[in-house]
């Protein structure tokens, strides 16, 4: 990885893209510290001093922007929600399905345009929800219509600016822009995790002096070793692939006879990447966001809606109890597996791959061309998807239980590690492909 980065810095075009990406990341981080107009910063620090539940989850994704009530407080979550809604609608609306599958580059541009329009609409709803949820906390100066309009418009503008930054990174930088923004937001909590581990090893005694704790050291070592094992497992599975052999017979191309070729179709164990985790997390926490819009003090109440709220936020806090966490984990598992199947079959069509192989005179050894090849590929994809979905679910769910260890408040859960490692690997692979394209020597040389 370090060699790849070193080579990239030596290549002018790639270095320019890297520096441009870094500049946009700096703009994103600066925006996380620009507070929305009309917010009392002193009241804000008191209101968010003990952020938990939905607040802590949104704050993690936004890189601390939510607790500062900055212009990027909503982060890129409205865009993610809009993407989920459009992908689900494309399954039931024939016109959207045709745009997705047959529209080509023009179809993708239209889908992207629809996603941005829906993002602005959802940002308006979410901005109103945030304002209504925190209007009773006293963090707004002169709580009136003008203040509310300023806050909501500022939050919408921040989300729109993040969309633009994501597009710029994707088109002119390195990596997927939206993924990079989420990645940077999550790793911004790394210093807090290091501080938490230091507080475990050297806690503050009643006298106000730090003292060494053997128990804290053992817990810290357990967390570090577990994180290393988790990262290693994520890298191993993300890089692993199932290679399906394909043979092509001799055929005439123009006036020449092309010889037989042996190749393979690389099928990754987790073809969907980290998207099912992001989709499932957004889908699961959506009820809590809606409930908090209409019942700002829901966290202190009891009853049906409080139960739904506590269930929805159980993946991000240990304050709602182990029962809510277990129920949340089971639903989380089902959602991750379901979105894994949905996203995998949306990006890989066994029938289309089978037709392409047959059209080019190829076949899988031992499998007849046509429908048998489609069935064979579908069987492999089904097994890989079951493995990938359960793997993603286990990685995302197990660290949730670590929150019940006293004095442990991890900024990095399984979901965070999956996103961080997945985005890092994807970005490095794209960087390597950029280098290969620019260092490729043709036959004339």
- Where b means 16+ CB within 10 Å and e means fewer, 91-106 reads eeeeebeebbeebeee
152 or 101, which is more confident? 152
Find where tokens 């600016």 sit: 161
* C-alpha to C-alpha distance for 315 and 328, rounded to whole angstroms: 7
pLDDT recorded at residue 441: 45
> What's the rounded Cα separation, in Å, for the pair 132 and 148?
9
Most confident by average pLDDT, 20-24, 72-76, 104-108, 408-412:
20-24
Alpha helix (H) residue ranges in 48-189: 54-61, 77-89, 94-102, 104-134, 145-172, 177-187
Of the candidate ranges 65-69, 190-194, 270-274, 396-400, the one whose mean pLDDT is the lowest: 396-400
CB 396 within 8 A of CB 336: yes
Average pLDDT, the chain: 78
- Residue 384's nearest CA partner among 252, 243, 278 is 243
**CA-based Rg of the chain, rounded to a whole angstrom?**
25
* SS3 at position 139: coil
Mean pLDDT, residues 142-153 taken together:
84
**Higher pLDDT pick, 178 / 399:** 178
User: In this predicted model, what pLDDT tens digit does every residue of 98-126 receive, in sequence order?
Assistant: 777 666 677 778 888 888 899 999 889 88
Residue 445: pLDDT band (50, 70, 90) is very low
Q: How confident is the model at residue 23 (pLDDT cuts 50, 70, 90)?
A: very high
371 within 8 A of 300, measured Cβ to Cβ: no
Segment 214-231, tens digit of pLDDT: 887 888 888 788 778 878
* Contact between 220 and 201 (Cβ < 8 Å): yes
d(CA 318, CA 310): 10
Number of other residues whose CB lies within 10 A of the CB of residue 198: 13
In the structure, what pLDDT confidence band is assigned to residue 405 with cuts at 50, 70 and 90?
low
Higher pLDDT, 242 or 399: 242
CA gap 63, 67 in Å, rounded: 9
Find the mean pLDDT for residues 351-373. 82
Check if the beta carbon of residue 67 is closer than 8 Å to that of residue 48: yes
Of 77-86, 283-292, 433-442, highest mean pLDDT: 77-86
**Lowest model confidence (mean pLDDT) among 29-43, 175-189, 283-297:** 283-297
Calpha distance 124→145 (Å, rounded): 15
Sequence-ordered list of residues with C-beta below 8 angstroms from that of 347, at least 6 positions apart, any chain: 271, 272
Q: For residues 176-194, give the mean pLDDT.
A: 81
Residue 338 CB neighbour total at 10 angstroms: 15
3 state SS of 229: helix
What is the per-residue pLDDT across 64-85, written as a single tens digit (0 to 9) for each? 777 788 888 888 888 888 887 8
């Amino acid at each position: 990885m370090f060699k790849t980065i070193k080579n990239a810095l030596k290549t002018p075009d790639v270095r320019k893209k890297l520096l441009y990406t870094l500049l946009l990341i700096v703009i994103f981080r600066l925006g996380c510290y620009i507070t929305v107009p009309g917010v009392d910063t002193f009241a804000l620090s008191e209101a968010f001093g003990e952020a938990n539940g939905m607040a802590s989850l949104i704050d993690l994704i936004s890189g601390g922007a939510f607790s500062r009530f900055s212009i990027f407080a909503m982060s890129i979550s409205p865009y993610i929600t809009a993407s989920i809604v459009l992908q689900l609608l494309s399954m039931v609306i024939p016109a959207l399905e045709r745009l997705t599958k047959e529209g080509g580059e023009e179809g993708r541009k239209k889908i992207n345009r629809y996603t941005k329009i829906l993002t602005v609409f959802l940002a308006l709803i979410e901005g109103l929800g945030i304002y209504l949820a925190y209007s009773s906390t006293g963090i707004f100066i002169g709580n009136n219509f003008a203040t509310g309009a300023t806050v909501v418009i500022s939050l919408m503008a921040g989300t729109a600016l993040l969309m633009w930054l994501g597009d710029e990174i994707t088109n002119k930088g390195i990596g997927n822009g939206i993924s990079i923004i989420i990645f940077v937001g999550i790793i911004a909590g790394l210093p807090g995790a290091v501080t938490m581990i230091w507080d475990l090893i050297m806690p503050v005694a009643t006298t106000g002096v730090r003292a060494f704790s053997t128990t804290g050291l053992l817990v810290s070592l357990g967390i570090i070793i577990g994180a290393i094992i988790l990262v290693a497992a994520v890298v191993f599975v993300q890089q692993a692939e199932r290679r399906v052999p394909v043979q092509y017979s001799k055929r005439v191309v123009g006036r020449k006879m092309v010889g037989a070729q042996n190749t393979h179709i690389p099928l990754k164990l987790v073809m969907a990447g980290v998207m099912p985790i992001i989709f499932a997390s957004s889908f699961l926490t959506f009820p809590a966001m809606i409930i908090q819009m209409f019942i700002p003090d829901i966290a202190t109440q009891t009853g049906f809606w409080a139960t739904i709220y506590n269930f929805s936020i159980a993946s991000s806090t240990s304050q709602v109890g182990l029962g809510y966490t277990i129920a949340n984990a089971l639903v989380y598992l089902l959602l991750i597996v379901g979105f894994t199947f949905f996203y995998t079959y949306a990006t890989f069509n066994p029938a289309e791959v089978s037709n392409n192989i047959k059209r080019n005179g190829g076949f899988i050894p031992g499998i007849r061309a046509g429908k048998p090849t489609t069935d064979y590929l579908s069987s492999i994809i089904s097994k890989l998807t079951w493995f990938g979905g359960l793997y993603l679910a286990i990685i995302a769910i197990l660290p949730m239980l670590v929150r019940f260890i006293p004095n442990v408040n991890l900024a990095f859960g399984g979901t965070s590690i999956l996103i961080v490692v997945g985005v890092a690997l994807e970005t490095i692979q794209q960087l390597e492909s950029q280098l290969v394209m620019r260092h490729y020597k043709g036959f004339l040389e």
